[in-house]
């Protein structure tokens, strides 16, 4: 396996662990969401919305973890890539469309991690294609 894919696997595992922490935080105390994320309209944040956010984040965490373990699984790889696009889309919509958030350091961190992950995974696609094992699997 290429060195780049090993770094990408580590990155995905790190983002998975961070997402797990964010998920647990959403279940524990919903004030995190209106104090750090949805700061413009905190009255829209309640326990149900926090638990929904927590489940969504937990699912992303599990997907990223499995991709880090089995990075050669193309379907899983593409689903993982989409988890980062969804995060970006969500926060851009909350900022530009719904007006529930502003560009705080926390939101910018989410967007930076998603952007770096998207770029890394797109580059990783080329490395997956270049591996000899990937070509043999295609022929079979």
Model pLDDT for residues 115-135, shown as the tens digit of each residue? 999 999 999 999 888 876 654
The predicted pLDDT at position 132 comes to 67
Percentage with pLDDT > 90 across the chain? 85
The predicted pLDDT at position 130 comes to 81
What 8-state DSSP symbol labels residue 97? Answer: T
> What are the structure tokens assigned to 60, written together?
């992303």
Return d(Cα 35, Cα 72) in angstroms, integer: 39
Structural domain boundaries in the chain = 3-139
Place 140 in a pLDDT band, splitting at 50, 70 and 90: very low
Q: Mind listing the pLDDT tens digit for each residue in 74-84?
A: 999 999 999 99
Residue 3, pLDDT > 80, answer yes
Tell me the pTM. Answer: 0.88
Q: HSE of 98 in the Cβ direction (CA atoms, 13 Å)? A: 14
Higher pLDDT, 129 or 87: 87
For residues 121 and 5, the answer to whether their CB atoms sit within 8 Å is no
């Amino acid at each position: 396996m290429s060195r780049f894919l090993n770094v990408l696997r580590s990155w995905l595992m790190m983002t998975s662990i961070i997402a797990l922490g964010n998920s647990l935080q959403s279940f524990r105390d919903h004030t995190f969401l209106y104090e750090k994320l949805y700061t413009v309209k905190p009255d829209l944040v309640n326990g149900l919305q926090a638990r929904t956010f927590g489940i969504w984040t937990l699912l992303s965490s599990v997907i990223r973890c499995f991709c880090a373990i089995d990075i050669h699984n193309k379907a899983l790889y593409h689903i993982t890539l989409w988890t980062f696009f969804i995060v970006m889309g969500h926060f851009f919509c909350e900022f530009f469309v719904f007006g529930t958030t502003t560009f705080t350091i926390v939101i910018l961190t989410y967007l930076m991690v998603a952007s770096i992950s998207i770029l890394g995974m797109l580059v990783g696609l080329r490395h997956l294609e270049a591996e000899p094992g990937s070509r043999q699997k295609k022929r079979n």
